[in-house]
Amino acid sequence: MKSDLERQQTRVGWLFVSPALVLIGAFFFVPVVVGLLLSLTDFDIYAIGAPGLKDPGRVRAIASVKGLFQGFIERFGTTDCCTLTGCDFSQKTDVRRYYKEKIYQNTCYRQFDYVLRQCLAQLEAKEEIT
């Protein structure tokens, strides 16, 4: 059994660690989600692009994803995270610089905003069609 002192120390430790974990999660979440969305869209185009399947909804979905992917490249020049941020995340110095200089604010946030706005525009366009 834990003593009252041990329980109190554990609680204090979590009160200190929890906000840090939330911040770390948020800063890693945004670039990871953008990269994941873009990599999944690229995968989906090829994975579900088997010839002979001409379902109109599927064709529209593939065209939509392709448009999002191409639009991202046209706007930002690439989908490579290292190129977009100027940081090599395998290097500790670049990871520190990424957070210290808040590089994510002018890169990842803008890119994530672009992807979300494009997805919302697609949803609004679909609502107008149906």
Q: DSSP string of 38-71?
A: HHHHHHHHHHS--TT---HHHHHHHHHHHHHHHH
Put simply, whether the predicted model's pTM sits higher than 0.95 gets the answer no
**Given pLDDT bands bounded at 50, 70 and 90, which one contains residue 57?**
confident
Q: Is residue 119 part of a domain?
A: yes
How far apart, in whole angstroms, are the C-alpha atoms of residue 42 and residue 112?
16
**Given pLDDT bands bounded at 50, 70 and 90, which one contains residue 59?**
confident
Q: Is residue 71 part of a domain?
A: yes
Q: Is residue 2 part of a domain?
A: no
Q: Is residue 22 part of a domain?
A: no
92 lies in which domain range? 30-129
Structural domains in the chain (count): 1
**Given pLDDT bands bounded at 50, 70 and 90, which one contains residue 77?**
very high
**Is 70 exceeded by the pLDDT of residue 78?**
yes
**Given pLDDT bands bounded at 50, 70 and 90, which one contains residue 79?**
confident
Q: What are phi and psi for residue 83, nearest 5 degrees?
A: -70, -40
Q: Is residue 76 part of a domain?
A: yes
Q: Is residue 23 part of a domain?
A: no
* Span 15-32, pLDDT tens digits: 666 666 666 666 666 666
Q: Is residue 103 part of a domain?
A: yes
Q: Is residue 14 part of a domain?
A: no
